[in-house]
Amino acid sequence: MALTVCPECDGKVSDKAFACPACGYPLGQQTGGSAWPAVLGGVAGTYISAQALVTIIVGSIMFIAFAAIMIVAVLSS
């Protein structure tokens, strides 16, 4: 793995990268078959991590539970 310089932001980027991780500048096109992760529309695709997904789900459940408790407290008083 060699490092190259991004022409957009002058950051160091792997020669195997689809896009610059700092600015998203597309560096190269993959030929043939399916590319995973793909560069879509000239911009690197963004993927959510498992930890971020769990955080969103747990946070949503906690918010709904808190809202339900507050509604019950207001209605019972």
Percent of the chain with pLDDT over 90: 29
52 and 32 in a single domain? The answer is no
The verdict on 36 and 65 lying in the same domain is no
Residue pair 44/22 in contact (Cβ under 8 Å)? The answer is no
pLDDT at 21: 83
Task: Report pLDDT for 37.
Answer: 53
What's 24's DSSP letter? -
Q: For the chain, which residues score pLDDT lower than 50?
A: 35, 39-42
Q: Is 2 helix (H, G, I), strand (E, B) or coil?
A: coil
Using alpha carbons, select from 18, 20, 15 the residue that is nearest to residue 36: 18
Cis peptide before 7 (omega within 30 of 0): no
Q: What is the predicted pLDDT for the residue at 34?
A: 52
Does residue 41 share a domain with residue 4?
yes
